[in-house]
Structure 1
């Protein structure tokens, strides 16, 4: 491995990043380095204790308030370093939302009810706060690198009056519409979870001829075959017939013989063999809607994929099968293995959210204003991208109790291991940030000055009818 080449690429990325910070570039650059090299921080203000951060703790909030970057700044920063797909014939984009709980921030605007997982049975999995939509690039396996890496590209806060799936659709549309990025000119696959299989989201991307959308489908959905005119039947007047026989996922009696079937074998981490049956049906249709906007979904046939895993005794491993929907003009270029593997890699985005919240304090920044919070989320994505740029430069430093773990024996660098060694890398490379220049002690506010209290903000709670109308 050419360490010199990877070191040079990291230095170029850091210099370009420093130049893209329009305001308080020195503070923001040192803050990113502190996030990448100080995993001991238990609060955002604790990053001021990192050796690479040479400024006061008060500079963090000031820098995040004045931070200015373009919407596509991170994709342009990573453009010279994007790994072209070699093992699969397409770019893989993954989109999902994740919450930032802020139940006690009574002065923070635009808070709503967001999803929050809980292990307590019977408790509603909701909390009060914000949610953010992120788009990341799926990566192919590399030697000596953990398979859990993704490459974050965009993050946007989802307003309470916005549709989270449509926010993700706008993010992907921005990546595909930019001619400087390769995603719009080549075959690209966008993967989403169940909520991204609704007609409004699928219809929004059909103007991109090179985009194929893969989304999970609930087991209670109903689709239709294309209508086939009977022999000798003449086309009459009236509305044309688009939908043929019903295909109900919950009723096997409505299933026709699959157009394609493939059997795969997998070995679990415990050494057990599993048989995977994959079936597909081509050119199915879903019903669209006429209100509040017309969605002619009969114009967009799709491929439906069903996947079931069986144990060594032939019993299903899960209660329900996995249903996937594949829509796009170039969907026939994807094999069943491409579809299954592409959706399986979507779970790496969950690893990114978990690492970001635990190691980069992605959801821990406390502020009464929206703009600094949004800037912080963008900065955490930049910090993760810098860790990815250093993956081939870092060394595995296991703890004494981690030396015998299989992952440590394989020396596969994960984001945690890169963050653990990033302090050494910064000492060798240096930083483009200039040292602070003390300007004396500020006189502060005049004695007796009283600021008015911030107004309390109401929590936005959507009713069921309002959510359906939206």
Structure 2
């Protein structure tokens, strides 16, 4: 913290030690751990400075959760900070929201943030947050995500979290990302990309060996593999069956060396040289039932690794289910820590507040073995290693009282006179029009798969 460090430090302490969820930003000035006034609080958010590069390195150097085989598993997702009424806030873009109404996909203005977190094993609501980047209007989401993942992996290697000979870092993506393209851009790193694909995709098999004496250009693609047509699947390379508690019997089928048929459009328009053939393994996961009781639909996954064994297939689809733990972190950020509570105007102030949230969450993760469970009378006792982030935060004040604070004591002062009563504001804030543009820079259209009676066929 290079400017307004004391105010920012005590603001983070106030978020950690506040009783209950954060309902307002100015309310944190009433927390005993925040010894300054509300003016210093807003001054720290609006005019403070954080060295985010140093924070990234510091967070990457902390202990990370790993899988049973010692593998680091990273989840990437976008969470929006919705600001529909903030006409004076710049750099807003339309954010995709789902679930705000029955079967509704709404586009709401706001600041979308791409977040990278390391996943734990087992059923848990903990993740280890490593990075957050605000997506600017018109940004190429795949390119930004690739640069973000590259930076995280390089910092983990520099911090000694990954050494030569360790299992490759597994990066898990949801259906909104182009997993083959990201895998191609990260081919020089020790990463394995696992992403969800839509059920209307069409991939291609490897080209058959060229017969001797055949003229013409050799084919790049073999027969089609249509996700919605079982007649095109053929025999699978691996098949596993697992009994689960929530989903009943989970059946996973895998087909090897399938790739998308790329064309020179969209992200591949300016690609130099011939278009690559990005081969991977396709996994189809089918379960008996859902916890909500709905009709289970198959989940299609694409992994950049080929020649996978049955153990690799099970590891991939089980890791993909763990990806949803990052949703618990987003819920903690928004409902408990108050990430989207402040009505900030400057997007750079929103970035500072976002990184304060990452610092707060990292401190909660480091305080897990030190916290005493202060459970409510109606809550069940939990082992120390099973405490949720909210229950660790509940006991953080007892830890805070035993440690020193680098923040200096506040100096007594008096507020300025402010603008005289009745005088108009001579410098109104400029207003910024969001426009019908997505974070990808494309004009918004209702997706084809949202229109009834249509079944698109995606080959790219």
2:222 to 240, 244, 251: 244
How far apart, CA to CA, are the structure 2 residues paired with 1:86 and 1:323? 23
TM superposition shift of 1:359: 0.7
Matches within 5 A, 1:221-240: 221-229=201-209, 232-238=211-217, 240=218
User: Are the equivalent residues in 2 in contact too, given 1:94–1:346 (CA < 8 A)?
Assistant: yes
User: Are the equivalent residues in 2 in contact too, given 1:54–1:436 (CA < 8 A)?
Assistant: yes
1:47 to 18, 28, 37: 28
How far apart, CA to CA, are the structure 2 residues paired with 1:118 and 1:241? 44
Deviations 1:193-245 (A, max 9, x none): 0011354433322232x111000011100011101126x4435333x311101
How far apart, CA to CA, are the structure 2 residues paired with 1:262 and 1:167? 35
How far apart, CA to CA, are the structure 1 residues paired with 2:63 and 2:38? 34
**Deviation larger for 283-292 or 179-188:** 179-188
Q: What secondary structure sits across from 1:378 in the alignment?
A: helix
Alignment of 1:302 onto 2:283? no
How far apart, CA to CA, are the structure 1 residues paired with 2:238 and 2:48? 52
User: Are the equivalent residues in 2 in contact too, given 1:280–1:303 (CA < 8 A)?
Assistant: yes
1:137 to 118, 128, 132: 118
Alignment of 1:342 onto 2:333? no
Which residue does 2:96 correspond to in 1?
A: 115
Alignment of 1:454 onto 2:433? no
Which residue does 1:211 correspond to in 2?
A: 191
TM superposition shift of 1:90: 1.8
CA distance change for structure 1 residues 393 and 165 in 2, over 3 Å: closer, same or farther? same
1:160 to 121, 133, 137: 137
How far apart, CA to CA, are the structure 2 residues paired with 1:207 and 1:266? 36
Q: What secondary structure sits across from 1:400 in the alignment?
A: coil
Which residue does 2:39 correspond to in 1?
A: 58
Which residue does 1:325 correspond to in 2?
A: 302
Alignment of 1:437 onto 2:411? yes
CA distance change for structure 1 residues 409 and 156 in 2, over 3 Å: closer, same or farther? closer
Which residue does 2:3 correspond to in 1?
A: 23
**Deviation larger for 167-176 or 71-80:** 71-80
Q: What secondary structure sits across from 1:424 in the alignment?
A: helix
**Deviation larger for 303-312 or 246-255:** 303-312
User: Are the equivalent residues in 1 in contact too, given 2:283–2:300 (CA < 8 A)?
Assistant: yes
How far apart, CA to CA, are the structure 2 residues paired with 1:25 and 1:333? 52
TM superposition shift of 1:394: 0.8
TM superposition shift of 1:139: 2.2
User: Are the equivalent residues in 2 in contact too, given 1:137–1:152 (CA < 8 A)?
Assistant: yes
How far apart, CA to CA, are the structure 1 residues paired with 2:8 and 2:437? 37
TM superposition shift of 1:278: 1.0
User: Are the equivalent residues in 1 in contact too, given 2:65–2:119 (CA < 8 A)?
Assistant: no
User: Are the equivalent residues in 2 in contact too, given 1:74–1:154 (CA < 8 A)?
Assistant: no
CA distance change for structure 1 residues 237 and 193 in 2, over 3 Å: closer, same or farther? same
Deviations 1:312-346 (A, max 9, x none): 9xxx9744211110015897797122102211111
User: Are the equivalent residues in 2 in contact too, given 1:199–1:288 (CA < 8 A)?
Assistant: no
Which residue does 1:389 correspond to in 2?
A: 366
Q: What secondary structure sits across from 1:90 in the alignment?
A: coil
How far apart, CA to CA, are the structure 2 residues paired with 1:433 and 1:67? 14
**Deviation larger for 430-439 or 384-393:** 430-439
TM superposition shift of 1:160: 1.3
How far apart, CA to CA, are the structure 2 residues paired with 1:55 and 1:126? 39
TM superposition shift of 1:183: 4.9
How far apart, CA to CA, are the structure 2 residues paired with 1:57 and 1:206? 49
How far apart, CA to CA, are the structure 2 residues paired with 1:176 and 1:438? 46
How far apart, CA to CA, are the structure 2 residues paired with 1:213 and 1:382? 27
How far apart, CA to CA, are the structure 1 residues paired with 2:288 and 2:104? 32
Q: TM-score, normalised by structure 1?
A: 0.84
TM superposition shift of 1:36: 1.1
Q: What secondary structure sits across from 1:99 in the alignment?
A: strand
User: Are the equivalent residues in 1 in contact too, given 2:285–2:300 (CA < 8 A)?
Assistant: yes
CA distance change for structure 1 residues 93 and 152 in 2, over 3 Å: closer, same or farther? same
Which residue does 2:331 correspond to in 1?
A: 354
How far apart, CA to CA, are the structure 2 residues paired with 1:64 and 1:333? 51
Structure 1 unaligned residues grouped into runs of 5+: 1-20
Which residue does 1:174 correspond to in 2?
A: 151
How far apart, CA to CA, are the structure 2 residues paired with 1:276 and 1:458? 48
Deviations 1:253-284 (A, max 9, x none): 0001001111111123xxxx711111111111
**Deviation larger for 451-460 or 289-298:** 289-298
How far apart, CA to CA, are the structure 2 residues paired with 1:65 and 1:389? 28
User: Are the equivalent residues in 2 in contact too, given 1:27–1:63 (CA < 8 A)?
Assistant: yes
Q: What secondary structure sits across from 1:344 in the alignment?
A: helix
Q: Which has the higher helix share?
A: 1
Deviations 1:46-81 (A, max 9, x none): 111111000011112211223333344334223443
How far apart, CA to CA, are the structure 2 residues paired with 1:155 and 1:463? 19
How far apart, CA to CA, are the structure 2 residues paired with 1:113 and 1:40? 27
TM superposition shift of 1:465: 11
How far apart, CA to CA, are the structure 2 residues paired with 1:331 and 1:147? 27
Q: TM-score, normalised by structure 2?
A: 0.86
1:364 to 341, 365, 368: 341
Q: What is the RMSD of the two structures over their aligned residues, measured on CA atoms?
A: 2.9
